Structure 1
Amino acid sequence: MNTIQIIDRSIKVKEYQGQRVVTFKDIDYIHQRPKDTASRNFRTNKKHFIEDVDYFNLSVDKCKNDEIRRFGIESPRGGYIFTESGYLMLVKSFTDDLAWQVQRQLVNSYFRLKEEAYEQLELEPYKLEKKT
């Protein structure tokens, strides 16, 4: 499984429905917050989040699926996972210096890196065809 380094902590790369996602545990860990900080923030502000856009609610059945585990998402009781927009909304209350550094690195190195890799893959064949 691929991992990515954010400041001084590593997290596993997780994908769901073609998008990189993070869990509550990932967010608390990389932001060096007490356990359940991200979960509490989500419960407090859930009305502002859009399901299947900002987050996915994984049922127990979905979490037992081999496809989910293959993407690095392991949650035997089900749970929530967050897209880039959901992550940014969730941590908007984290305003210390570390939070700003983590947010910038996570967005640029985790969420956006995949998009850049796809763009390069799409451009390479075009360049090759044009030369021949």
Structure 2
Amino acid sequence: MHDLKVTEYHGIRVLTSAQVAQMYETDTKTISYNFSYNKRKYIEGKHYIKLEGTELKEFKASREIPDCHKFSAHLYLWTEKGALLNAKSLNTDKAWQAYDYLVDFYFRAREQKQEKEKNEVVPTTTSTEKIKEEDILPVMKEPIAVFRNLMAFADVNGIQIKMKSLQHHNSMMYDKRIAVRENQSFERVTYEIAYELAHYCIHHKDGNLINSPLEKDYNGQAERAAVMMIHMLDVKAQRC
């Protein structure tokens, strides 16, 4: 159980069907059958992420994939809530035991690590400037659904979004290309995409914003628009 390899999709921990089957001591056919039989209970973006086409190719190319998934035309990635529904479908002692482990030591391991680091006091004598506090992110109850809708909007408008090792910015936009800094939380990545898309929609005819005397005003407009976009998409996802 403790040998489970971490699978992440855009910064959020997920499980492939093979991993769910491994943890719950069943097989992928049973996972697939239970999903098909109870499909009305599963919500895409909340319980699972379906990868196909280009998304699937990029996902397979970026990591080692179990043999049972290598030639699949699509791939399901299960979230923490999706793993719960799979456990309910199986309803075995082993499945429930494995689910408890997944919650405590897999899905929420990063949160626990961050909380631990936050509470640790590290003495230092070399600090010379105050660290800028991170902006407060809008609350998202369905961040995966919000993220996928933003990506779909970008795709429709021919906007490319890539993860990059930026040094001084959380995100940047040039023409129809958006770069988002790596190693940020999933919610932060989602917000940065919304922020840059807001800039694109509102200011795409305003030229170079960085050197503009109205840069601060432009950024404020984009921030407010991004928060509104996220709230709207989040409400829509919760009602689906």
For residue 96 of structure 1, the aligned residue among 81, 92, 95 is: 92
Q: How does 1:26-105 map to 2 (within 5 A)?
A: 26-65=19-58, 69-70=61-62, 75-76=69-70, 77-105=73-101
CA RMSD of aligned residues (A): 2.6
Query: 2:233 is matched with which residue?
Result: none
Partner of 1:20: helix, strand, or coil? strand
Q: Unpaired segments of 5 or more residues in structure 2? A: 128-240
Deviation at 1:93, TM superposition (A): 2.3
C-alpha distance 35-64 of structure 1, shift in aligned 2 (>3 A): closer
| Residues 15, 71 of structure 1: 8 Å contact kept | no
Q: TM-score when scaled to structure 2? A: 0.44
Deviations 1:40-75 (A, max 9, x none): 11111121112112110101311221x664365664
Distance in 1 separating the partners of 2:97 and 2:89: 14
Letter in 1 for 2:91: T
Distance in 2 separating the partners of 1:72 and 1:54: 23
Distance in 1 separating the partners of 2:48 and 2:27: 21
Query: 1:25 is matched with which residue?
Result: 18
Which structure has the larger Rg over C-alpha atoms? 2
| Residues 18, 27 of structure 2: 8 Å contact kept | no
Q: How many residues of Structure 1 are paired with residues of Structure 2 in the alignment?
A: 122
Using CA pairs below 8 Å that are at least 6 residues apart, which structure has the higher relative contact order? 1
Deviation at 1:95, TM superposition (A): 2.4
Deviation at 1:85, TM superposition (A): 0.4
Letter in 2 for 1:43: S
Percent identity over the alignment is: 32
Partner of 1:91: helix, strand, or coil? helix
Query: 1:111 is matched with which residue?
Result: 107
Distance in 2 separating the partners of 1:90 and 1:37: 10
Bigger fraction of residues in strand: 1
Distance in 2 separating the partners of 1:117 and 1:69: 28
Deviation at 1:18, TM superposition (A): 1.9
Q: TM-score when scaled to structure 1? A: 0.75
Partner of 2:105: helix, strand, or coil? helix
